[in-house]
Amino acid sequence: MFSEAESNAAFEVALDKMQGMISEALKMEDLDPRLRKLGVALAIELSSAMGAHGRSAILIPLMVLSIAAEVRDATNKTDFLRPINW
């Protein structure tokens, strides 16, 4: 089990990575095939952070929660991720 400070720091690191991915995605065209791969990488980063640190963190950045909501809304049963609307 991680300490609260370790988990809070891990969320900050994950947020930095996810914001980098979002910045990269915003530079791409809407139909760019790399967007799907980037969306999957974003979902994996989010899932890893939440799974490892979600229970022990006392501070989860609001942007992480916003990303979680976007990934949830973009996920459906027939297609893993539709383009995320940032």
Convert the pLDDT of each residue in 7-50 to its tens digit. Answer: 999 999 999 999 999 999 889 887 888 888 888 899 899 999 99
**What's the predicted TM-score (pTM) here?**
0.78
What is the per-residue pLDDT across 40-76, written as a single tens digit (0 to 9) for each? 899 899 999 999 999 999 999 999 999 888 888 777 6
Exposure pattern of 58-72 as b/e (b: 16+ CB <10 Å)?
A: eebbeebeebbebbe
Query: How many angstroms separate the first and last alpha carbons of the chain?
Result: 33
In angstroms and rounded to an integer, the radius of gyration of the C-alpha atoms of the chain is 13
